[in-house]
């Protein structure tokens, strides 16, 4: 059987379809934008590593604030705004990866876990419970966001309807999809 991100190929496809259906329902019924039709299902695939999802959502907030500052000082709208959001978002995502790798070169990782119960943060070692590690927090995390296009797509929708509403809808679709797929796994397993 083929696997993507350590998940069965059919489950990945099912996750994407379910997330898209939920997103489209919310859009058609309530005219609510969920941060890009594909973003929530993709993020739901990574909920077993919540630090990746959290860093991606943090990057959404940072990019949204940056774009708002730029919009106040320039005339950006329409396609130019969207291209600017894409360019800045991709650059920001790549930059965080480079900074994280640079810090890692000095023997420190961003939330690097070496299996000894010790997190290595820049210039600090922190002892932490293995239970938290099992939840996906921090194991070999180097500061990456999920996908270079995920952050700009969410920010583009947030420019139209507001960051808070977009993030709430994104989290709703993401967790709903994750729960439905979890139920599917339970049914198929028995």
**Among 24-38, 118-132, 149-163, whose mean pLDDT is lowest?**
118-132
92, 75 Cβ separation under 8 angstroms: no
Domain ranges of the chain: 3-189
- Position 146 scores a pLDDT of 78
Q: What is the pLDDT of residue 68?
A: 94
**Who wins on pLDDT, 75 or 143?**
75
- Please report the pLDDT score of residue 54 as a whole number: 85
Alpha-carbon gap, residue 55 to 62, rounded angstroms? 10
What is the reported pLDDT for 160? 87
Q: Identify which has the larger pLDDT, 110 or 75.
A: 75
Q: How far apart are CA 173 and CA 151, in angstroms?
A: 16
Does the pLDDT value for residue 44 go beyond 50? yes
Asked if residue 76 lies in contact with residue 69, where contact means CB atoms within 8 angstroms, the answer is no
Mean pLDDT of 15-32: 95
**pLDDT surpassing 60 at residue 112:** no
**What is the pTM for the complete model shown?**
0.79
pLDDT of residue 115: 53
Instruction: Tell which residue, 56, 89, 5, 1, has the closest CA to residue 167.
Output: 56
44 in Cβ contact with 7 (< 8 Å): no
What share of the chain in percent tops pLDDT 90? 45
Strand extents, DSSP E, the chain = 3-4, 7-8, 112-113, 118-121, 124-127
Indicate the SS3 state at residue 141: coil
Nearest to 44 by CA among 184, 189, 188: 184
Q: How buried is residue 178: exposed, middle or buried, by Cβ count under 10 Å (0-12/13-18/19+)?
A: buried
Q: Over range 40-67, report the average pLDDT.
A: 89
Distance between CA atoms of 35 and 173, rounded to whole angstroms? 10
Quickly count: other Cβ atoms within 10 Å of residue 111's Cβ: 19
Q: Which residues of 144-177 are buried (b: 16+ CB within 10 A; e: fewer)?
A: bbbbbbbbbbbbbbbbeeebebbbebbbbbbebb
Return mean pLDDT, the chain.
80
Q: Convert the pLDDT of each residue in 130-177 to its tens digit.
A: 545 444 444 455 556 777 889 999 999 999 899 999 999 999 999 999
Which residue has better confidence, 89 or 137? 89
The SS3 assignment for 100 reads helix
pLDDT value at position 57?
A: 92
């Amino acid at each position: 059987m083929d696997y993507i991100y350590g998940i069965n190929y059919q489950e990945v496809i099912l996750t994407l379809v379910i997330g898209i259906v939920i997103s489209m329902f919310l859009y058609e019924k309530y005219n609510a934008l969920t941060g890009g039709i594909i973003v929530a299902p993709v993020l739901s695939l990574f909920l077993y590593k919540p630090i990746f999802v959290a860093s991606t959502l943090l990057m959404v907030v940072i990019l949204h604030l940056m774009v708002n500052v730029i919009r106040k000082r320039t005339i950006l709208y329409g396609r130019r705004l969207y291209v600017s959001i894409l360019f800045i978002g991709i650059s920001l995502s790549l930059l965080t990866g480079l900074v994280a790798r640079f810090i890692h070169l000095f023997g420190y990782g961003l939330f690097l876990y070496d299996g000894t119960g010790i997190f290595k943060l820049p210039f600090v070692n922190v002892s932490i419970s293995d239970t938290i590690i099992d939840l996906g927090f921090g194991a070999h995390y180097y500061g990456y966001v999920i996908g270079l296009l995920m952050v700009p797509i969410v920010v583009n929708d947030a420019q139209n309807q507001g960051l808070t509403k977009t993030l709430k809808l994104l989290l709703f679709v993401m967790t709903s999809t994750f729960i439905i797929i979890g139920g599917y796994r339970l049914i198929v397993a028995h």
